[in-house]
Every structure is written in structure tokens, then in C-alpha cells.
């Protein structure tokens, strides 16, 4: 059994209870398979990165088995603005979907997601501004990441209303067509190692531990300039990056300790 998110956000819980820990979120257009069920809850696995969690059965929007392969293979539009307002087809109810949401390109303004139909007016595509020394992908990545500045930190979050560090890096790379796993401990397994922080390029992923001695990866951010990193810690922010780690100017101390830098773009 499959489904596709037809709401702005579907919260993934660790256990089948509204009181349970938020582990992640699916955005509008995200497809999933159902791996377990109770009368009120469904345990689902996301189709993009295989992340698992529980959603309320009342939020399930079936995606018919015969349509799954075509849906996953379809070219998809990724929302680049903070919000995109769309309308339900039958009742013409307007509601927002968040930046990072993705769905097949509408046909004549009509989008079909499983059992749901929407009217979608896509904004005009903006040309990528030229930036000396940066590739178009780097420019797109930085534009997308900058849109999240000051978004509050939320464990498990993936929207401007609340986002965690790995959700931030995952969505940013999604905006340039690169799929990353959900968690920092998984994301660190990919890409090519950058030996020295001085060799880091814009768009590289930097991974950190919580103490100078810890080898466990607990944090990730995106290199956004020479000795600069954009990351979600308290809020999405830009801090100083050096060979020791992230130095927070507001607090006057190192908050995260560098373990490795990876190049995935």
C-alpha cells in the first residue's frame, strides 16, 4: 500500500501516538509506502530516502499501486519560494505548501495526487544570477538555503516554521536535484572527503561532534563562504567555520567540533 502527502506537512512520529516524539516530516507531494498499521495509525517509509515513522491514518492519501512507478519517475517541480498557495479542485479551498515541497508538473494547472486533485499556478521561473567563481548549482543551493535564515530549530522539522540541521541540508540539496539521506549520521557516508577546511568549497557539507573528543556525528551544515557555514542551531544561521569547528560569535564560543567535510556536488 502506498500514499502521497496531500497536506502541507505530515508529521512522522516515533510511535503511534500524537504524544510521541517527532522524528521527521513529509512535505506536500512526498510519496511513501505503508509497512505496518493499527486502526488509527500507519507506519510508513518515505520513498525518497527510506525514513520510517508513524502518521495518523486520517492523513493517509492513497496512491494506487499501478501509479506508483510513474509517480516516482515523473519530473517534479520543487517549490523555491517560502510558500506557494494552491487550491483544492472540488471545494476551491486555498492553503499553503512549503518551500522544498515537490510534485509532478501540473497539466493545464491541474495536479492529481492519488485521490486528491488540486489547482496549481506555478510562479514564473527566475533566471539563475551569474556569480563569479560559482557554478549555477552552487548559486541555486545558496539561494535556497538563504531563504531559511532565522527559521527556528525544530527536532525532526523540515519547514521554515521549524527545521533541524539534517533536514535543512537534505532539503537544500533536494532543490538542486541531489538526494541525501535524512540524518547527519547517514549523510556523512556519501561524497568525497575534503582534507582541509581551507580547501572547502561553497556547497560542501561539514559534519560535527558535540565535544572536542566525541567521534559521533551529531550535526551538519553547509559551507557558504570562506570560513562560513550556514546551519540550523537554535535557528538557521551563518557562523564562523575553522579547523576546530563552528564558532558562534553571539555566544563567543565553539558550539560544534569539526569531524569531516564532504563534497557531494
Report the chain (265 residues): mean pLDDT per 10 consecutive residues: 98 98 98 98 97 98 94 96 96 96 97 96 85 89 97 98 98 97 96 96 97 93 96 98 96 96 95
pLDDT of residue 55: 98
The residue extents of the domains of the chain are: 2-119, 136-263
Contacts of 163 (CB under 8 A, 6+ apart): 148, 151, 152, 153, 154, 157, 171, 232, 236
Looking up cell 506536500 gives: 28
What pLDDT was estimated at residue 129?
Answer: 79
The CATH topology of domain 136-263 is endopeptidase fold (from Nostoc punctiforme) (3.90.1720)
What is the predicted pLDDT for the residue at 126?
A: 80
Within this chain, domains 2-119 and 136-263 share the same CATH topology: no
What pLDDT score does 131 carry? Answer: 78
Report pTM: 0.95
**CB atoms inside a 10 Å sphere around CB 26:** 26
Mind spelling out the 3-state secondary structure of the chain?
Answer: CEEECCCCEEEEECCCCCCCCEEEEEECCCEEEEEEECCCEEEEEECCCCCEEEEEHHHCCEECHHHHHHHHHCCEEECCCCEEEEEECCCCCEEEEECCCEEECCECCEEEECCEEEECCCCCCCCCCCCCCCCHHHHHHHHHHHCCCCCEECCCCEECCEECHHHHHHHHHHCCCCCCCCCHHHHCCCCEEECCHHHCCCCCEEEEECCCCCCCCCEEEEEEECCEEEEEECEEEEEEECCCEEEECCCCEEEEEEEEEEECC
Question: Going by C-beta distance under 8 Å and a sequence separation of 6 or more, which residues neighbour residue 70?
Answer: none
Q: Give the fold, CATH level 3, of 2-119.
A: SH3 type barrels. (2.30.30)
Amino acid at each position: 500500500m502506498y500514499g502521497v502527502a496531500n497536506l502541507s506537512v505530515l508529521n512522522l512520529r516515533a510511535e503511534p501516538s500524537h504524544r510521541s516524539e517527532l522524528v521527521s516530516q513529509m512535505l506536500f507531494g512526498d510519496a511513501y509506502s505503508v509497512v505496518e498499521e493499527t486502526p488509527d495509525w500507519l507506519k510508513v517509509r518515505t520513498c525518497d530516502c527510506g525514513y520510517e515513522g508513524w502518521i495518523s491514518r486520517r492523513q493517509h492519501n492513497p496512491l494506487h499501486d499501478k501509479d506508483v512507478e510513474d509517480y516516482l519517475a515523473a519530473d517534479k517541480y520543487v517549490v523555491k519560494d517560502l510558500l506557494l498557495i494552491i487550491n483544492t479542485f472540488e471545494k476551491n479551498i486555498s492553503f499553503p505548501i512549503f518551500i522544498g515541497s515537490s510534485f509532478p508538473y501540473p497539466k493545464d494547472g491541474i495536479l492529481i495526487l492519488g485521490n486528491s486533485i488540486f489547482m496549481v499556478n506555478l510562479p514564473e521561473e527566475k533566471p539563475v544570477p551569474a556569480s563569479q567563481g560559482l557554478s549555477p548549482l552552487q548559486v541555486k543551493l545558496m539561494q535556497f538555503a538563504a531563504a531559511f535564515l532565522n527559521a527556528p530549530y525544530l527536532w525532526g522539522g523540515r519547514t521554515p516554521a521549524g527545521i533541524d540541521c539534517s533536514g535543512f541540508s537534505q532539503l537544500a540539496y533536494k532543490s538542486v536535484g541531489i538526494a541525501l539521506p535524512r540524518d547527519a549520521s547517514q549523510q556523512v557516508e556519501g561524497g568525497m572527503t575534503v582534507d582541509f577546511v581551507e580547501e572547502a568549497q561553497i556547497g560542501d557539507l561539514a559534519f560535527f561532534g558535540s565535544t572536542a573528543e566525541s567521534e559521533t556525528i551529531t550535526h551538519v551544515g553547509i559551507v557558504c563562504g570562506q570560513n562560513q557555514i550556514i546551519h540550523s542551531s537554535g535557528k538557521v544561521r551563518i557562523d564562523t567555520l575553522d579547523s576546530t569547528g563552528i564558532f558562534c560569535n553571539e555566544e563567543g564560543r565553539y558550539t560544534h567540533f569539526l569531524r569531516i567535510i564532504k563534497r557531494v556536488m
